[in-house]
A = this chain, B = another copy of it.
Amino acid sequence: MATQANSHAHPTIVSVDPFVPADQQKGLHNRWHPDIPAFASVKPGEVFKVECVDWTGAQIGNNDTSDDIRDVDLTKIHNLSGPIAVEGAEPGDCLVVDILDVQPFEKMPWGYTGIFELENGGGLFAKEFKSRAAKAIWDFHGVYASSRHIPGVRFAGVSHPGLIGTAPSAELLATWNERECGLIDMHADAIPPVAFAPNPTGSYVGQDIPDDVREKIGKEGARTIPGREHGGNCDIKNLSRGSRCYFPVFVPGANLSVGDLHFSQGDGELTFCGAIEMAGIITFSTSIIKGGVEKFALKQPIFLPSPIDPLYSSKLVFEGISVDYHGDGKQYNMDATVAYKQAALNAIAYLEKVGDTREQAYLLLSAAPVESHVGAIVDSPNACVTLAIPLGIFDHDILPKPEGLTKRDFGQCAVRSDGVL
């Protein structure tokens, strides 16, 4: 007879409350540093769960204004769960991580996508749009998300951790800080900034550690915003539940950290707070391949995508080239970033014809399972990048028609309480 016998729930090794500020909770940290001790330890082969707060650490609410987005404190992001030591992992090994599942908390079946202010966080079009804060709340209905702030769409989530990585060695950390601070020096007055130097303000390690170590981490710890050789904030939508990832190991135990869970995200995550950001629970198992860095020439993570990523075979695809046609017409030299931006601008202009506001379109392209391919990167001087919108996410027909497009009224997303756009 079926009994509790032999029936064991997978253990949770980091527990958090999504409604409590991150800096009041154990097992979280928001800088990369080799001196952050492992918060928990697992054996290879073990299945375990890790709970994560949302990337802002409970700064954003389920409501209809974007004031919280406007006022977000970015020194406190991203709040990562961990580090988790894997027994036996040593520098030079490859840590194999199976991302077995990613789920929201049962008590928090919602997430958000935000557009940041030009001066606080930015985003791909922060300057072009002189961005003011905006927001969409997404409700999770099982495998689907939909939003009262962007009516007419519903899609299945490509749920994944936006941020996952192993801890850097001291040497690697030094390399990061040197090269990024060099870039900052070259663009001292950029708004938004080109990179983020170590900053003790807001730095947090949710463990009992000596004060001098804590201070050192604050002073030296790499910020979490960019992806780097260890993984980190790569925001790759296809590193989703069901995928298997191979990380290089830089410190004993590998010290894996994870956070910034996304219910869904489009390629590019263009508004920066562009995924459907959520708190939630990620299920892992791990194994170790000795000497894997050398065996696989592993300069950065490699991965096997999931067989259950949503499949929408019909798409409308927008092209972009590395010319800033919309403004000064400037010619860039093989710049895929500019080409991506043009493709995205073309898509936004199209969605506006269908009835979305610019803000809604910008949020939607960030959050939905949009695909962006590098078309060609060798046809000087124009890189060509495409951006594909799945047609199956709309409850209305957006295909080009001889009679043109039907412009519907979808209202507006959440904006600032002072109405400034």
A267 in contact with B375 (CB, 8 Å): yes
Q: A225-B379, A299-B325, A303-B317 are in contact. List 15 more A-B contacts (CB 8 A).
A: A2-B18, A9-B106, A123-B378, A143-B306, A235-B384, A236-B375, A237-B375, A238-B373, A270-B377, A295-B353, A296-B400, A312-B313, A313-B314, A313-B392, A340-B377
Q: Is the CB of A47 within 8 A of B374?
A: no
**Which one, B285, B316, B323, B377, contacts A269 given CB within 8 A?**
B377
Evaluate contact between A397 and B397: CB separation under 8 angstroms. Answer: yes
A312 to B374, CA, bound (A): 18
Could you tell me the dominant secondary structure of chain A's interface residues? loop
A156 in contact with B307 given A61-B1, A144-B100, A292-B400 (CB within 8 Å): yes
Question: When each residue 201-233 of chain A gets 1 if its CB lies under 8 Å from chain B and 0 otherwise, what string results?
Answer: 000000000000000000000000111110101
Cα distance A290–B175 in the bound complex, in angstroms: 57
The segment from A31-39, A83-91, A107-115, A249-257 found at the interface with B is A107-115
Cβ of A283 to closest chain B Cβ, rounded Å: 4
Q: How large is the interface on A (under 10, 10 to 19, 20 to 34, 35 or more residues)?
A: 35 or more
A63 within 8 A of B: yes
Residue of B nearest to A329 (CB): B179
Q: How far is the CB of A42 from chain B (nearest CB, A)?
A: 14
A243 to chain B, nearest CB (A): 9
- Tallying the copies of this chain within the complex gives 4
- CA gap between A375 and B239 in the complex, in Å: 10
Interface residue? A193 (CB, 8 A): yes
In the complex, whether A385 has a CB less than 8 A from a CB of chain B is yes
Bitwise interface map of A from 45 to 80 toward B, beta carbon under 8 Å scored 1, else 0: 001000000101011111100001000000000000
Instruction: Tell yes or no: A92 within 8 A of B by CB.
Output: no
Closest to A320 in B: B300
Q: Is residue A417 within 8 Å, beta carbon to beta carbon, of the partner chain?
A: no
How far is B380's CA from A187's CA once the two chains are assembled, in angstroms? 12
Name the CB-closest residue of B to A273.
B378
Q: Is A120 an interface residue (CB 8 A)?
A: no
A23 contacts chain B at the CB level, 8 A cutoff: no
- For A106, the chain B residues whose CB sits under 8 A away are 9-10
3 nearest A-B pairs in the assembled complex, by CB-CB distance: A100-B142, A101-B142, A235-B376
The answer to whether A270 touches B300, judged by C-beta atoms less than 8 angstroms apart, is no
Q: Which of A132-149 contact B (CB under 8 A)?
A: 141-144
> Nearest chain B CB to A213's CB is how many angstroms away?
27
Please give me the residue from chain B that is nearest to A314 by CB atom.
B392
Nearest neighbor of A301 in chain B, beta-carbon distance: B319
A29 at the interface (CB under 8 A from B): no
User: In the bound complex, do residue A59 and residue B2 qualify as a contact, i.e. CB atoms below 8 Å apart?
Assistant: yes
A103 nearest CB neighbor, chain B only: B103
Given A7-B19, A19-B4, the answer on whether A336 and B337 have CB atoms closer than 8 Å is yes
Residue A381, interface by CB 8 Å? yes
Q: Is A166 an interface residue (CB 8 A)?
A: no
Check B179 against A323 for contact (C-beta < 8 Å): yes
Nearest Cβ on chain B to A123's Cβ, whole angstroms? 6
Residue ID in chain B nearest A234 by CB atoms: B384
Query: Assuming the A-B contacts A1-B59, A296-B350, are A376 and B234 also in contact, with contact meaning beta carbons closer than 8 angstroms in the complex?
Result: yes
In the complex, the answer to whether B404 meets A9 with C-beta atoms within 8 Å is no
Q: Which residues of B contact A305 (CB under 8 A)?
A: 315, 317, 388
Contact A386 B236 (CB under 8 A): yes
Q: Report the minimal beta-carbon distance from A246 to chain B, rounded to whole angstroms.
A: 6
Chain B residues contacting A234 (CB-CB under 8 Å) are 319, 321, 375-376, 379, 384
A353–B309 contact, CB under 8 A? no
Asked if A300 and B321 sit within 8 Å, CB to CB, the answer is yes
Q: Decide: A226 and B319 in contact? CB cutoff 8 A.
A: no
Question: Is B307 a contact partner of A392 (Cβ separation < 8 A)?
Answer: yes
B376 touches A141 (CB 8 A): no
CB-CB under 8 A from A301, the residues of chain B are 319
A334 within 8 A of B: yes
**Residue in B closest to A339 when the chains form the complex, CB atoms:** B336
Task: From B59, B194, B374, B382, give the contact of A340 (CB < 8 A).
Answer: B374
